[in-house]
Each structure stands twice: as structure tokens, then as C-alpha cells.
Amino acid sequence: MGSWMIALAAGAFCIGMTEFLPMGLLPDIAHSLDVSIPATGNLVTVYALGVVVGGPLMVALTINRPRKATLLALMAIFTLGNMLCALSPNYLTLAAARIFTALSHGSFFGIGAVVAIYLAPPGQSGRALALMFTGLTLANVLGVPLGTLLGQETSWRIPFWTVAACGALAMYAIWRFIPDLSAMPKPDLRKEMHAVMQPNVLLAMAITAIGFAGVFTIFTYITPILEDMSGLLPHEVSFMLIAMGVAATIGLNIGGKMADWKLLPTITLSLAGMALLGIVFAWSMQFTVAAIATAFVWGLVSFAVGPGLQTNAMAQAGDSPLMASTVNQSAFNLGNAGGAFLGGAVIHFGLGLPAVALASAAVAICGALLTIYSIRHYGKQKI
């Protein structure tokens, strides 16, 4: 794909890492700023709200600006935002800095996806998106645990400084390796907004939200599942998370190649596979070896759906994919939050950890059925 793909993946890695960074540092931040752990947990929530609101807003404000300059500006916002997080003297300042940082998230992925497809060789758009999303996946499964470890050994502020430094490196990579994009078609805000409100595009985003809710219903609670049900020790869970990161990376790239071949059938197959493995995991999580094997394959199959979900939203929007690409990032975030909420509700009502996997399977089945409906009513549209 070329060096430009590495630059986009680097930006994706940085932005993905900062989203969930506070999760592993909740006690440290809470103690340092003298607030409760639930209040500190809201630093993830306010970031997600910033993504949902900030993505479309930033695209609207920058729609007539050159794409490369916009990507650089978004990474500059990201880098500055993480520096402000590291310097925050109190909770409110830190929350405000998190919201400011989140302004770059949805629009970077939205614009980056459009740029990736524009620069990709013919017939390889899904593969290009998969490579960009690999940066995001690696951030979640490798970057966040490493950031947590660094913060626990030093200070919670050091990981934010580290991510800011990574952001500066990503800015350099974008400046150095992304080619001139002045020949890209100029988007029209009115057409973009019209496209994003079409029933087929809204359906594509609903499939994204439901599909990733299925992923995060299990993934949010994978640590207690592996510790309490499968008998793994904490350090063994860390290695298992790394193994699942490898599986997710493999799955992303397989899913990207399959999406280039058959887009909506690939989404349907991935979601059906996720559902089947969720049902198997509800049984196998009580047996250590079986749990490890199931979790690895589940990570591979579940994350394979990501490139197809993004490609589908853009394909359904036809020749106005920019806003759809960006708003679809909000759908991913809604899925993350919805899945975490569903899994938490299952645990709260005392249904047990195996029921978390069954809830994930039920959500994935709903996503697969919606995708079949989309095939019948709208079919596959090429980008």
C-alpha cells in the first residue's frame, strides 16, 4: 500500500490509544485529583460524547479545506489535547481537555478512511481500511495495557505525555508520506448531509452500532471472564489480551480482503460467526484451554467485521461518503458504549458471566439479520 498507509495507521494508533487510556489508570487519577473512581470513569464517557458531536462538526468546519492540511490540523489538536491532559491541575480541566482531544477522533477516521480509499489501488479499498483500523485495534489491545503499566510505574500524567509525543511523530509521518491530495473531488456539505440521512445509510450505521455492541459486550468484560471463569492469573490475562490483539489484527486484514470481494455477505458471515462463538464461549469459558482457544478465535472473527462496516457506510452514501464515513465513527462509539452497558447490566442483574457471552451472541444475530435485510432491499454498492 505504501508509506502513506503507515502514516494513517500511526494516526489511528495514537487516537485509539488515548480513548481508553484512563480505564487502566482510574485509581491513580482518582487519588491524584481527589475525586471518586466513578467520576474518573466518566473521562471515557465525555470523550465518547466529544467523538459523537465533534466528528460531524469538524468535518463541517473543514469540508472545503485541503485534506492533507486537515489531517495535520486534527493531529495537532490531538497532540495539544493530550498535553493539556498531562498538565491538568484538577478534574474539570482534565475533563475539558478530554473533550477537546476528542474533537479530532471521528473526523480523523472519517477523512482518513476517504483518503485511504482514494489512494488505494483499484479493488483494494477494504484492505486499505483494514490496515488503517489495524492501528486502532493495536492501540486498544496493546497500547492501552502498556500505557497502564507505564502510568502505574511512574505517574498517570506520563502516558498522556507519551501519547502526545506519538501524536507529534504521526504528524511528521502524515506531512512526509501522505501525497498531495488536491486532485481529490471537492465535497459539498449539503450533498453530504443529504446522503447521510438516506434510509440505506442510516441502516448501515445501525448495523455498525449493533455489530460493535456485540464485540464490546464481551471484550469490555474479558478480564473478569478469563480470571473468574477460566482461572487465568492476572499476568496470564495480559498475555491473553496480547494474543487476542494478534487475532484481531489478523481478523481485520482477512475481513478487509473479504469485504473487497463480497461486502455485505462478509459482514453477515462475520456477525453470524461472532454469534456462534459467543454461544460456544458461554460454555467453554469454564475450561481454561477451551476458553483460551475460543477467545482467540472469537477475537479473529469479531474484529474481521470492522473494515466491512466502515466500507458499507461509505458505499451506501455513493459519491458523498465523507460525512457518512465520519458519522459512522460515532456509530462505532455508540456500539462500544452500548456493548459495555449491556454486559454490565447482565452482570448487575446477577445473570452471570456466561450470560454476557450469550447477550453478545443475541446482539450479533440482530446485526446479521439487519445486514440480510440490507442485502435484500439495497444490495451492495461499489465505492
DSSP states along 171-234: HHHHHHHS---TTSPPP-HHHHHHHHTSHHHHHHHHHHHHHHHHHHHHHTTHHHIIIIIT---H
Could you give the angle at which helices 37-62 and 91-102 cross, rounded to 10 degrees?
A: 30
Q: Which of 164, 186, 208 is the last residue of a domain?
A: 186
Neighbours of 297 (CB within 10 A): 17
Give the chain's domain count: 2
Is the model more confident about 131 or about 157?
157
| Cα distance between residue 214 and residue 360, in whole Å | 5
- Do 249 and 179 lie in one domain? The reply is no
Does residue 103 sit in the same domain as residue 211?
A: no
Query: Are 113 and 237 members of one domain?
Result: no
What lies within 8 Å, CB to CB, of 377 at 6+ separation is 200
Kindly state whether residues 97 and 203 are assigned to the same domain: no
Give the pLDDT band of residue 183 (cuts 50, 70, 90).
Answer: confident
Which sign, positive or negative, has the C-alpha torsion 57, 62, 67, 71? negative
Q: 200: domain CATH number?
A: 1.20.1250.20
Q: In this predicted model, what pLDDT tens digit does every residue of 333-357 receive, in sequence order? A: 888 878 888 988 898 888 999 999 9
Segment holding 306, helix H or strand E: helix 305-316
Query: What would the grid cell of residue 68 be?
Result: 492533507
> What does the pLDDT read at residue 59?
86
| Measured distance CA(242)–CA(235) in Å, rounded | 11
Same domain, 74 and 122: yes
Determine what percent of the chain is predicted with pLDDT higher than 70: 98
Give the single-character DSSP code of 121.
P
259 and 334 part of one domain: yes
Q: Is the pLDDT of residue 278 over 90?
A: yes
pLDDT-based confidence at residue 188 (cuts at 50, 70, 90) = confident
- Say if residue 145 is in the same domain as residue 157: yes
Q: How far apart are CA 190 and CA 105, in angstroms?
A: 22
Q: What is the mean pLDDT of residues 279-283?
A: 97
Same domain, residue pair 144 and 266:
no
Shared domain for 175 and 217, answered yes or no, is: no
Residue 233 structural domain: 188-383
Joined grid coordinates for residue 2:
505504501
Give the pLDDT band (50/70/90) at residue 301: very high
What per-residue confidence (pLDDT) applies to 72? 95
CA dist 336 and 324 (Å) reads 18
User: 3-class SS at 382?
Assistant: coil
pLDDT-derived band at 380 (thresholds 50, 70, 90) equals: very low
Report pLDDT for 381: 47
Contact between 244 and 230 under an 8 Å Cβ cutoff? The reply is: no
Q: pLDDT tens digit string along 49-72? A: 888 888 888 988 888 888 899 999
Inter-axis angle of helices 3-20 and 67-87, to 10 degrees?
30
d(CA 266, CA 258): 6
CA triplet 266, 110, 341: central angle to 5 degrees?
Answer: 70
Whether 302 and 374 map to the same domain: the answer is: yes
Q: How confident is the model at residue 92 (pLDDT cuts 50, 70, 90)?
A: very high
CA distance 343 to 356: 5
Q: What is the mean pLDDT of residues 172-178?
A: 93
Nearest to 163 by CA among 144, 177, 176: 144
Final residue of a domain: which of 171, 186, 201? 186
Whether residue 249 sits in one domain with residue 113:
no
Give the C-alpha separation, 111 to 298, whole Å: 30
Whether 275 and 144 map to the same domain: the answer is no
Q: Where among 131, 158, 186 does a domain terminate?
A: 186
pLDDT at 368 over 90: yes
Residue pair 244/222 in contact (Cβ under 8 Å)? The answer is yes
Per the prediction, the chain carries an average pLDDT of 88
